[in-house]
Each structure stands twice: as C-alpha cells, then as structure tokens.
Structure 1
Amino acid sequence: MSIQILTGWAMAALLLSLRIGPVFIIAPPFSQTQVPARVRVLLVLALAACFADTAPVYVLHDGAALALAVASELLLGLAIAFAFQAAFASLSFAGRVLDVQAGYGLATVIDPGSRAQAPMFGTIMTMLGGLLFFAGNGHRELLTLLASLIRLMPAGSARLPGDPQAFISYFGVVMALGLASIAAVMVCLFTIDLTIAFLSRTLAQMNALMLGLQVKTIVTLFVMSMSVGIMAPVVLQLMNSALRFVPSLN
C-alpha cells in the first residue's frame, strides 16, 4: 500500500511539474531574471512535490491515459504561460510604439534579462511590468491560482476548452490595456506632430524632422515621468487580467 501511495504521489508530482514548469521557465517576469535553468527546474519540481501532497491523486495504469494526461497538463501550463507572455508582449509593443513615435527607435539598450539589444522604452515597460507584478504580490496570487486549479483539476484531469475565441478575446484585451498605459504620452506626441506639421507649412525653411526629434525626445521623458500615476494602475490591471485568464476558461 505504501509503495502504491508513493507511486501515485510521484506520478502526481511529475504531472504537476508539467503544469507549473512553463510558468516559471518560459513566462515573464520569471524568464526576465538571470536564474540558471537548473535552479528553475529544481524550483518547479519542489513546488510540484508540495502541491502533490495536498491534491487528489489519480494513478494511471494505462499508457494511452497517461499520455493524454501528460499532454493535457502541458497544454494547461502553456495556457497559463501564454497569459503572462501576452500581457508582457503588450507592454513591450507599447514601448516599441513610443520608441518609434518619439525617435528613440534609433538607439537600443541591453536587456538585462535576455542580454540582447532591445528598444529602450520596450525594455523599460517590460521591467516596469515585472516590478509591479512582484510589488503587488502577484507571485503570491499566482501560487494561490495554481493551488486553486489543482483543487479544481487534480493531476491528470486537466482540461481546456477547444474554442480559440477565448484566447483571441484575451489577446485583444491585453493589447488594449498595454496601449492604454501609454495613452497620455501618445496623445502628447500626436499633438506635437500636428503642431510641427502646421509650422512646417507656415515656415518652409524650418527643418521639421530635426525639430520634431528634439522636442519629442524631451517631451516623452517629461510626460512619462508625470504619467506614472496613471500607468501603474493600468499595468496592475494587466497583471490581474493574466491571473484571471485561465480560471475564466472554465
């Protein structure tokens, strides 16, 4: 009997590691930190082992049923990772829009997470999202979400709806929230472009391109610093949308 219980616990831990693994390995903000892959794998296995102690266990003896359980657990983990990937992709896209519109797209910085060249505001926005995620106890809410999902769908019984409309709708929502986080800056930059366009029609000898770059680079930094109070609640709403995505599927 003890061997059977130990086998069921080990099977549940391995199945739950497939559910938890994509979240801590490929999903931001955890993928933004320079943590060795070996440490992440050990963290996933440790969390899966802890969750397996509190969850009902299904011992699967059929090979086909085990393969189906492995696939379903992995798909559920990828769905949770997709929620965070889409949320942070919307922030990165919003930052790239600012880079292009304000003229910062000509310069790149080194992303501390990937150690690759990245646009300046795109990197700042994704780092801001990760900072607000941990500052707002998003990591604790994520663990609570995983524990709730394990109670609702024990190891080996994970199911996802096949309708892609839920994923498409969520992607549209997070992209709208990402652009809303920089709405104040975009309105100011559009007003500057409109003003310079009228001035260039009046003063034909004026270099509109150089004047626009100088003005917009300064205004972007000023308005970004002034609109942090508006930006932070939108980013927090974006993180909450990522945490509510998977429970909304059922």
Structure 2
Amino acid sequence: MDMIERFAGLLALAFLRYLPVVVLPALTPMRWAPPLVRIVLALGLAWLTVLAMPAQMYTAQAPINWGMAVFGELTIGLVFGLVVMVPYAALHVAGWVVDVQAGLSAGMLFNPGAQGDMQSLLGAGLALLATVLFFTLDLHLALYRALVASTQVLPVGRGGVGLDLDAFLGLLGSSFLLGLMVVAPVMLGLLVVDVGVAYATRSMPQANVYFLMLPLKIVVALLLMVATLPFVPALLNRLFRDAFSRAPALLGL
C-alpha cells in the first residue's frame, strides 16, 4: 500500500510539472486542442515519467513538505511555459508596433466587434504563423524532450527551485529583440514612406496627406511582410530555441 501511495503521489507531482505547459491555454502551444486532449496528454506524460523513475523512489519516504514539492513542480512547469509564452508575446508586440506605424491600428476604431479591445491585426497573424511553424519545425518535440529531461536533473518531488529574476529579464530582452528582427524590414520600409509623407506635407500643407497616404502605407506594410516570409521560419526557429536554451538559467541551474 505504501508503494501505491508513493506512486500516486509522484504521479500527481509529475502531472503538476506538465500542467502549465500542456494544459493551461495561456502557456501551452496546444491551446487550439480541446481541454480533454491536453489533460490526457499531461496525464500520459506524467505516467511515463513516473514509470521511468528508479524503483527505489517508490519505496522512499513521502516528502515531508508537500507544499514545497507542489510549489517546485509548478515552478518548473511555469518556467517551460514562459519560454513558450514570452516569444509569442514578443511577436504580438512586434506586430502591434507595425500596426501602429502602418496605420492599421486605426482600423480597429471602425471594428464593431472590437468592443473597446484594441487588437493587433499583424500581431494576431504573426501569432498564428508562429503556431503553424512551431509544429512544422518540430519545436514542440524539442520543448517536450527538454521537459522530460528536466526530471533527470530535477527529480520529481525534490522542490527547492525558484525563478531567477535576472535570467527572466534576459529572456524578455532577448525575445523582444528577436521578435523585432522579424518585422525590422517592414519597419524600415515604412520609415522611408513616412519620410516621403513628411516631405509631401511640407510641400502641400493644405492637403490632408496623412489620410491620402494611409492606404499606401498599409499596402507597403503588407507587401513587405509578404516579401520577408521566406526568412520568417529561420527567425522564429532562432527565437524559440533561444528561449528554450534559457530554461536552465531561469531555474538557477
């Protein structure tokens, strides 16, 4: 009975490690999957993880402080969720910057479905593209391999882990920098258009050049975005793999 209880406890703790990055919609790349599918996948990974653990861990004494063990497992899962969520957030912010520069953000004012929620058109498009490429480039396999390998470095139920603030700030800076690299050609192209608009405004102050040139800026932004698509897979691959490589530092390893 003690062995069964120990196995059940380890299974629950392992499930908590996989919970954030597999089940929670805000952190998992599988947010499009039904909740039942995500829960079953997390339970399957937890079951296989416990079965792969040494047999002597089943007969060991249960953790004295279950609160610390639960906190540690959730922290590890949260770290792996952050290395997925932060790159997505960086891409969304980069798309929002281009929206503002191109004038697409003004279109949200005429969107009756927005209901005051200012959404990013290009940011949402980049997020959808990132989701497709995340699975096309097998980044989900790299993520789950790293998550399973973490059980070898940080055994289930060990506890005593925390989030390193310096490493987290480094993740934010690196991800948002690489996210801006995806849209950098578009931003530079729109800067050239803005210079031309500024010159036209000085030449014809009586004309409302901004609204006259707004369709042109939108067309230029979309054309430049399409022209940079061949380079996006390599940039997104670098963005996510850089975030994955920072997971050990986030855990203080």
TM-score, normalized by the shorter chain, greater than 0.5: yes
Deviates most, 181-190 or 143-152: 143-152
Correspondence for 1:112: none
Query: 1:113 corresponds to which residue?
Result: none
Aligned length: 241
In structure 1, give the amino acid aligned to 2:136: A
Query: Is contact 2:87-2:175 (8 Å) kept?
Result: yes
Amino acid in the other structure paired with 1:102: A
- Alignment CA distance shift 1:149-1:23 (3 Å): same
Q: Is contact 1:76–1:159 with CA below 8 Å preserved after alignment? A: no
Residues 49-78 of structure 1 show CA distances to partners (whole Å, capped at 9, x for unaligned) of: 111111243645355x22211111111111
Q: Which amino acid aligns with 1:80?
A: F
For structure 1, the residue ranges without an aligned partner over 5 or more in a row are: 110-115
- Is the 8 Å Cα contact of residues 68 and 159 (structure 2) preserved in structure 1? no
| Cα 1:216–1:130 shift into 2, 3 Å | same
| Shift in Å, 1:215 | 1.0
- Displacement of 1:9 in angstroms is 2.3
* Corresponding residue for residue 114 of structure 2: none
Range that drifts further, 180-189 or 152-161: 152-161
1:7-46 equivalence runs, <5 A: 7-26=5-24, 27-31=27-31, 33=32, 35-46=33-44
**How many angstroms apart in 2 are the aligned matches of 1:62 and 1:183?**
51
Q: What residue in structure 1 maps to residue 91 of structure 2?
A: 91
RMSD after superposition = 2.3
Letter matched to residue 82 of structure 1: L
Residue 52 of structure 1 corresponds to which residue in structure 2? 50
TM-score calculated relative to the size of structure 2: 0.87
Deviations 1:100-132 (A, max 9, x none): 1111113358xxxxxx98321111011111111
| Distance change in 2, residues 1:130/1:60 (3 Å) | farther
- Deviation string, structure 1 residues 127-165 (Cα, Å, up to 9, x no partner): 111111101101111121012101111101144355411
Give % identity: 28
TM-score w.r.t. length of structure 1 = 0.88
Between the aligned partners of 1:117 and 1:105, the Cα distance in structure 2 is: 8
CA contact (8 A) 2:17 2:76 kept: yes
Secondary structure of the residue aligned to 1:118 is: coil
Q: Deviation at 1:85?
A: 1.1
Asked if the contact 1:182/1:231 (under 8 Å) is kept, the reply is no
Aligned amino acid, residue 197 of structure 2: I
Number of the residue aligned with 2:226:
225
Q: Residues 6 and 62 of structure 2 are in contact (CA less than 8 Å); yes or no, is this contact kept in structure 1?
A: no
Contact 1:96/1:121 (CA < 8 Å) preserved in 2?
yes
Task: State the match for 2:194 in structure 1.
Answer: 193
**Match of 1:168?**
169
How far did 1:229 drift? 2.0
Relative to structure 1, the CA distance from residue 195 to residue 234 in structure 2 (aligned partners, 3 Å threshold; closer, same or farther) is same
Cα displacement (A) at 1:211: 2.4
